[in-house]
Structure 1
Amino acid sequence: MVAIRIEFDDDEQYERLKKLKKHRGLTWKGLLLEGEKRVLEQTPE
């Protein structure tokens, strides 16, 4: 297993992402994977 440390620019950014994570019922890993999916959907091959 690999561990990753995420540094946020400020408390506001952290709170915004934490709220989104909770609203979607995700873990931090799940939020990251959802972000990856959206980026791949929007990026032409």
Structure 2
Amino acid sequence: MVEIRIEFDDDEQYERLKELKQHHGLTWKGLVLEGEKRVLEEAPDRQ
């Protein structure tokens, strides 16, 4: 298993993303994967 470390610019950014993941019932991994899906939807040539 690969492990990554995410650094946030400040506490406000961390809290905003933490609330977003909790609101949608996601883990940090799930939030990253959902972000990936949205990026690929916006730029399908990057798949």
Q: What TM-score do you get using the length of structure 2 for normalisation?
A: 0.93
Percent of aligned pairs sharing the same letter: 82
RMSD: 0.6
Structure 1: segments with no counterpart, 5+ residues: none
Establish whether residue 29 from structure 1 lines up as the match of residue 29 from structure 2. yes
Q: Give structure 1 regions of 4+ aligned residues with deviation exceeding 2 angstroms.
A: none
* Letter in structure 2 aligned against 1:40: L
Structure 2: segments with no counterpart, 5+ residues: none
Q: What TM-score do you get using the length of structure 1 for normalisation?
A: 0.97
Aligned length: 45
